[in-house]
Amino acid sequence: MSNDILKTLKKEHDEVNALLEELNNTTERAEKGRPELLKKIKAALLPHALWEEKVLYPEFKKRADRDGLQTHAEAVQEHRAVELRVLPDLEAASPTSPEFAGRAKVLGEFVEHHAKEEEKTMFAMARKLFSAEERADLDAQYAQWKASPQLNEALAQASEKAAAALRANPPPA
C-alpha cells in the first residue's frame, strides 16, 4: 500500500513483469519451476486485473472524456484477451513443450504492453481525474478487498470463465 492507488498498481506491474521475464528465461528443463512461476504470476496478475475491472475502470469510465473512453475500451479488451485466451492457453500447455515457451512469450508481451500503456495513458489521465484523497481511498479499498473473501469469489468466477473459454475454443495441440 502506498496511499496512492496508481502507485500501488504501478508497483504491481513491475512485480508481475519481473516474474514474466523470469518465466521467459526458463528452459524446458524447468519442468517444476515453470508451473510454480506460473502460479506466482497468476497470484500477482489476477487480483490486480479483477480489481481494475471491478472498481478502477468503471470509476475511470464515469469521468472519462472521448479519448478516455477509447483508452478504457482498449484496456478492457486487453484484459479479455489475456484472461480468456492467452493465459488459459498457456496453462493448458505442457511445461516442457515449445507451446508453453511460445505462449509464455505472448503473455509476457501482452502484459508488458498493457501495463506500459496503462501507466502512460490511463493512469496519466486518472491522476487528473481523481484527487489525491480519492486515490488514497481507492488504495485502502484495494488493500481491504485483497484481504477479503470477495477476492476468492472473484478468482473462482474468473477461473470458471477461463475454463469455459478454453472448452469453447481449445488451442491447437
Give the nearer residue to Fe ion in terms of CB position, either 83 or 118. 118
Stretch that binds Fe ion, among 4-12, 82-90, 98-106, 157-165 (CB under 5 A): 4-12
CB of 97 to Fe ion, least distance (A): 28
DSSP character string of 44-98: HHHHHHHHIIIIIHHHHHHH--HHHHHHHHHHHHHHHHIIIIIHHHHHHS-TTSH
Q: Which is nearer to Fe ion, 101 or 115 (CB)?
A: 115
Between 90 and 115, whose beta carbon lies closer to Fe ion? 115
52 scored as a contact of Fe ion (CB under 5 A): yes
Q: Is 139 in the site for Fe ion (CB under 5 A)?
A: no
* Cα(23)–Cα(39) distance, integer angstroms: 11
Q: Which is it for the CA torsion 25, 29, 32, 35, positive or negative?
A: positive
Task: Considering only the C-alpha atoms of the chain, give the largest distance between any 2 of them, rounded to a whole number of Å.
Answer: 51
Q: By C-beta, is 63 or 120 nearer to Fe ion?
A: 120
Smallest separation (angstroms) from Fe ion to the CB of 38: 19
DSSP reduced 3-state for 4: coil
Q: With CB under 5 A, what is the number of residues at the site for Fe ion?
A: 3
Residues that bind Fe ion (CB under 5 A): 9, 52, 118
